[in-house]
Amino acid sequence: MESTQNSPENEGSQQASEATLTLPQQTVVPLTDGRKAIVKRGKGRLAVKANKLAGSPAEVPLALASLMTTINGQPIVYEDLLDMDLADTLAIQSAAMGLAGNGIPTAG
């Protein structure tokens, strides 16, 4: 039985789908108080800034998430994220880390 996984026809199809991969630019996160947080993709400079903001390596993901987030059109600060309901904090952090990923689909 012949495998079609590496056939020239599939190779071209795979290259075309990789070339058209578009990454989400933002995620809307509904908060427990009814507001909506907008988490936007960032640049590498945000990672550097998050490292400076964080007091320890464990705090870097939260600091990065705060730099990527606005609520009601206003940027939030790291302390705002820390003072939110834990469900909101974790939802924003999860959205930020999803946007900061490489965008390569994984087999599910």
pLDDT tens digit string along 19-54? 566 678 999 999 999 999 999 999 999 999 999 999
**Which residues 6+ apart lie within 8 Å of 4 measured at CB?**
10
pLDDT tens digit string along 18-27? 556 667 899 9
pLDDT tens digit string along 61-100? 999 999 999 999 999 999 999 999 999 999 999 999 999 8
**Which residues 6+ apart lie within 8 Å of 75 measured at CB?**
67, 69
Residue 86 is encoded by which pair of tokens?
Answer: 């834990």
**If you ran DSSP here, which 8-state letter would residue 56 be given?**
S
Judge whether 96 and 69 are in contact, CB under 8 Å. Answer: yes
pTM across the whole model? 0.73
